[in-house]
Structure 1
């Protein structure tokens, strides 16, 4: 067993004793207590930060993190899913404009290449802390009134269902791990070394027509996903 992994295991026991929000003792003191080098201790702490067990605050220290938010892999509102876990959802609009569909986007939305597409990019937050960057694409031809009826910081799903009469039926979602770009890391207040979860989703209505194409990037230290599997 690598030494830093053994140290990491002992640190997890310490975190459980300290409790949520508690400050981690200084790296030098922990290294001396555990009888290891500062490099080994630093490596163990970095992995626990990446795992979401610790949170580093610049100029303040390292603290025991709150548990990860577990989101369902389902066609449900981000707002409702977060509130169900006792968290206050938030959205900050980064971009809300129109672009021309490229080949891939046109295929996902069932439209012609070059046709206009709504692009809505928002930073998602939980209790005021950024956790995700979501970019949603919808056909302008199908939803010409979207910009007039959507409150950009509100629930897009609620707007589509309640005001535009959309009925979600099914979707496909691909999940992979990536490294954030410098821009994405800045928007999420994270370092580029922090693991990210990237979700690609295509949704369809009850008639089988494409509704949206969504690209969602989530901080791997703050969010996890759960799916219900049936034979």
Structure 2
């Protein structure tokens, strides 16, 4: 009898498509076959390399340019290729962000990329019903709203809105540098983050969000909504983070609950 491995076996990321995309009723669509062939070309070329033109791909694979265009459109939505001027180039690997209480800055930096943030809004406003519930404050109580573009190597990859109680952090506007990590600032005030509830869903960005991030309305976005608490169980922040689906993926370590 073989022994169990000493270390847990981790699933590869990403997993290969189940059965290579072949449906139960027969052959996969022609565009999908072309997509797989172009994907193999991407593996050979490497990130940043310029792809052959649609016409060149059509001649190479013996299909129409429309079929090639549909295949490339899907690869672009998946982040496998991207536009660069009038050319299409192989995309860079997605940023892999762990679902932990580490900051965005720490997560991006750990992958050898240069994190950055660009301030859009830093304002004081009254809490609506949702914020009052999330932060456990009175309806209409003042909160700070911090909205920033998320950057990785100067590329716009997301948009983050954070809400904090103005009564709890009265000097935030005067002391906090919006280009730096908010979590580092909070630690400096003595706040220790302990746990959070987070919800993840797929959405399409609003016209304003699409313009700020610099994407297209058809690009799927990953929306993370989170309430973070300190060691005393008191809410510290409500956060709405919108990430480009073609540039981000998320990981989580799961453990089984005891019966």
Q: TM-score range by the shorter chain?
A: over 0.9
Q: Which has the larger radius of gyration?
A: 2
Is structure 2 residue 10 aligned with structure 1 residue 17? no
Q: C-alpha distance in 2, partners of 1:61/1:201?
A: 38
Is structure 2 residue 231 aligned with structure 1 residue 210? no
Cα offset, 1:86, TM superposition: 0.3
Aligned to 1:72: 98
Cα offset, 1:87, TM superposition: 0.4
Which runs of 4 or more aligned residues in structure 1 lie more than 4 Å from their structure 2 counterparts after TM superposition? none
Aligned to 1:29: 56
Cα offset, 1:189, TM superposition: 1.0
The correspondence of residues 30-179 of structure 1 with structure 2, limited to 5 A, is 30-57=57-84, 59-162=85-188, 164-179=189-204
Q: C-alpha distance in 1, partners of 2:91/2:73?
A: 13
Structure 2: unaligned runs, 5 residues or longer: 1-27
Q: C-alpha distance in 2, partners of 1:184/1:48?
A: 22
Higher relative contact order (CA 8 A, sep 6+): 1
**Number of aligned residues:** 229
Structure 1: unaligned runs, 5 residues or longer: none
CA-based RMSD: 0.8
The normalised TM-score by structure 2 is 0.87
The normalised TM-score by structure 1 is 0.97
Q: C-alpha distance in 2, partners of 1:119/1:27?
A: 45
Cα offset, 1:40, TM superposition: 1.0
Q: C-alpha distance in 2, partners of 1:62/1:190?
A: 15
Q: C-alpha distance in 2, partners of 1:36/1:182?
A: 35
